[in-house]
């Protein structure tokens, strides 16, 4: 993962220089490709451009290498039922999850008789030609050439996944890197469970069904049942504990038990920041120490992004006045705190 994380910018000669495209820029480039595809009147030209669009979408959303995508046999290596793409290397294959909406788009596109005949075995496109088209589309929407090649789109995807709090293990597996040692975690995770976490993330990313910014993937590691409510502890893939309190009725409906894979979410306004090197004495059950990675100031509220580890970023929204009183600045060490009552659990 070296060279991909953390962050999207570096300081050079006192100027902020982007290392890769952010999500908004990736969307601009995708839109540029889509407009380009719909421009020609000739069917053969549109078909050829559709093929390039598919290559872009696969790199954009799977983080695959260009040669991996060009070696795909689309009619064999894309499983619509599992919503997966299989990148093959020798006798082995890496399975990468994609969203339901992207699966449907690929399936619909590949149903075109003219396109099927040209991608029956592989995409059958020269790598240099693909790179030129990436640069052209980037130039058309005002993006830098050095950030817009297939290799850089792959890096941008990796950063995007990490910033969305997809666990480092899942990101590494998706990009084809070796996975880290999980012995430090409270519980172990199977490859199938990591795949489930990735699938959940892809669907959340695609549908944008919730306004919550903070997500944690993990397993139930402890249950403490009370008369009316129960305390549930989640162990994330990175080994961080997250505690929540829910009603016994909710625990029954969710079917919670030790070892069950689960997702927890916390809205940004519920995350309180405290500027202190030492762990604070407070009633918040969940405490994460990190550094302020990014500050987006507004007249009323200010958004802070706190990097806890290579696998976790937390977002907090506080009043701009409170931020000024705390004198919060980029690079400061802070504690991100939230109550067990602020954690919402999801089982999919």
| C-alpha angle 322-326-327 in degrees, rounded to nearest 5 | 110
Q: Is the pLDDT of residue 75 over 90?
A: no
pLDDT for position 183: 42
Q: How confident is the model at residue 212 (pLDDT cuts 50, 70, 90)?
A: low
Q: Is the pLDDT of residue 13 over 90?
A: no
Averaged pLDDT score across all residues of the chain: 85
Q: Is the pLDDT of residue 9 over 60?
A: no
Question: 334 vs 118, which has greater pLDDT?
Answer: 334
Q: Is the pLDDT of residue 16 over 80?
A: no
Beta strands at 272-274 and 333-338: parallel, antiparallel or unpaired? antiparallel
Q: Is the pLDDT of residue 187 over 80?
A: no
Which of 73-79's residues contact partners 24+ apart within 8 Å by CB, and which partners? 73/120, 73/121, 73/122, 74/106, 74/110, 74/119, 74/122, 74/123, 75/110, 75/116, 75/119, 75/120, 78/103, 78/106, 78/107, 78/110
For the question of whether the overall pTM of this predicted structure is more than 0.85, the answer is: no
Tens-digit pLDDT profile for residues 273-285: 999 878 888 889 9
Residues making up the chain, counted from first to last: 348
Q: Cβ–Cβ contacts within 10 Å for residue 45, how many? A: 12
Q: Rounded to an integer, what is the distance from CA 337 to the centroid of its chain?
A: 23
228 closest CA partner among 205, 246, 213 = 246
Q: How confident is the model at residue 237 (pLDDT cuts 50, 70, 90)?
A: confident
Q: Is 85 helix (H, G, I), strand (E, B) or coil?
A: strand
Phi, psi of 289, rounded to the nearest 5 degrees: -95, 130
Tens-digit pLDDT profile for residues 315-330: 999 999 988 888 999 9
Domains of the chain, first to last: 9-163 (1.10.443.10), 268-337 (2.40.50.100)
Tens-digit pLDDT profile for residues 140-158: 999 999 999 999 999 999 8
DSSP assignment of 62-73 equals H---HHHHHT--
The stretch 168-193 carries a mean pLDDT of 68
The stretch 49-67 carries a mean pLDDT of 94
Tens-digit pLDDT profile for residues 296-307: 989 999 999 998
């Amino acid at each position: 993962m070296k060279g991909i994380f953390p962050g999207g910018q570096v300081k050079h000669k006192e100027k902020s220089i982007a290392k890769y495209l952010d999500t908004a820029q990736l969307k601009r480039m995708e839109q540029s490709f889509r407009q380009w595809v719909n421009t020609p009147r000739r069917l053969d030209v549109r078909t050829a451009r559709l093929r390039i669009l598919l290559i872009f979408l696969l790199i954009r959303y799977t983080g695959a290498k260009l040669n991996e995508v060009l070696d795909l046999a689309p009619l064999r290596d894309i499983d619509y039922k599992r919503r997966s793409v299989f990148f093959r290397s020798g006798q082995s294959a890496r399975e990468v999850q994609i969203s339901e909406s992207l699966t449907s788009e690929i399936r619909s596109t590949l149903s075109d008789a003219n396109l099927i005949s040209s991608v029956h075995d592989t995409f059958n496109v020269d790598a240099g030609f693909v790179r030129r088209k990436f640069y052209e589309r980037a130039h058309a929407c005002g993006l830098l050439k050095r950030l817009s090649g297939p290799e850089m789109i792959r890096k941008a995807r990796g950063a995007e996944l990490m910033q969305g709090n997809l666990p480092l293990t899942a990101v590494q597996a998706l990009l084809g890197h070796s996975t880290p040692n999980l012995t430090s975690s409270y519980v172990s995770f199977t490859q199938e469970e990591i795949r489930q976490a990735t699938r959940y993330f892809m669907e959340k990313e695609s549908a944008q069904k919730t306004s919550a910014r903070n997500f944690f993937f993990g397993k139930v590691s402890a249950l403490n049942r009370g008369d009316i409510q129960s305390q549930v502890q989640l162990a994330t893939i990175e080994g961080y504990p997250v505690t929540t309190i829910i009603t016994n009725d909710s625990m029954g409906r969710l079917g919670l038990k030790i070892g069950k894979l689960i997702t927890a979410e916390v809205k940004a306004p519920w995350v309180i920041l405290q500027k202190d090197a030492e762990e604070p004495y407070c009633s918040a059950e969940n405490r994460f120490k990190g550094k302020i990675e990014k500050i987006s100031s507004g007249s009323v509220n200010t958004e802070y992004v706190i990097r806890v580890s290579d696998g976790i970023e937390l977002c907090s929204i506080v009043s701009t006045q409170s931020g000024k009183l705390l004198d919060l600045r980029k690079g400061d060490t802070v504690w991100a705190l939230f109550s067990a009552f602020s954690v919402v659990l999801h089982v999919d």
